Amino acid sequence: MSLLNAATAVRQNAYAPYSRFKVGAALRTASGAIHVGCNVENVAYPEGTCAEAGAIAAMVAAGETRIAEILVIADSPAPVPPCGGCRQKIAEFAPQDAAVTLCTTDGQILYTTVADLLPGTFTRSHMDRA
């Protein structure tokens, strides 16, 4: 299954009763496995959790920790980038040159990389003196 098909399918499962803005994400690990996630809102936190965070949690729960590529899809006028928190999470598990594909449900696509999404990434090396 392609990342686009996987993200499109899981997007339908998003729980977005407040924003009605459904987002799907799919990532491929270094081993070739695909993990998916969708956004989940709740009354106490109406902006909810992000689809990217869900896909990363599924990957880690499956025992993997390396993202080879990730794709995000939403019904929006332009491709939607991950939030700041998700950008840092993606950077934690992906190399800087990993492909990031941002899509809309009407076919717009933006290709980028982890490095372009999050310049100046905070990494483990910043704590070398700790």
- Smallest Cα–Cα separation from 67: which of 30, 26, 36, 111? 30
Listed as ranges, residues in the chain with pLDDT below 70 are 46
Q: pTM, whole model, 2 decimals?
A: 0.91
Per the annotation, the verdict on 52 as an active-site residue is yes
pLDDT at 127: 81
pLDDT of res. 44: 73
Residues 73-109 have pLDDT tens digits of 999 999 999 998 999 999 999 999 999 999 999 999 9
- State the Rg of the chain over Cα: 14
Please give the pLDDT value at position 88.
92
Instruction: For residue 35, give the amino acid letter.
Output: H
45 annotated binding-site participant:
yes
> Is 72 marked as binding a ligand?
no
Q: 103 labelled as ligand-binding?
A: no
| Given 52, 64, 69, 92, the catalytic residue | 52
Q: Is 43 annotated as a binding residue?
A: yes
Domain architecture of the chain: domains with CATH: 3-127 (3.40.140.10)
Residue type, position 29, single letter: T
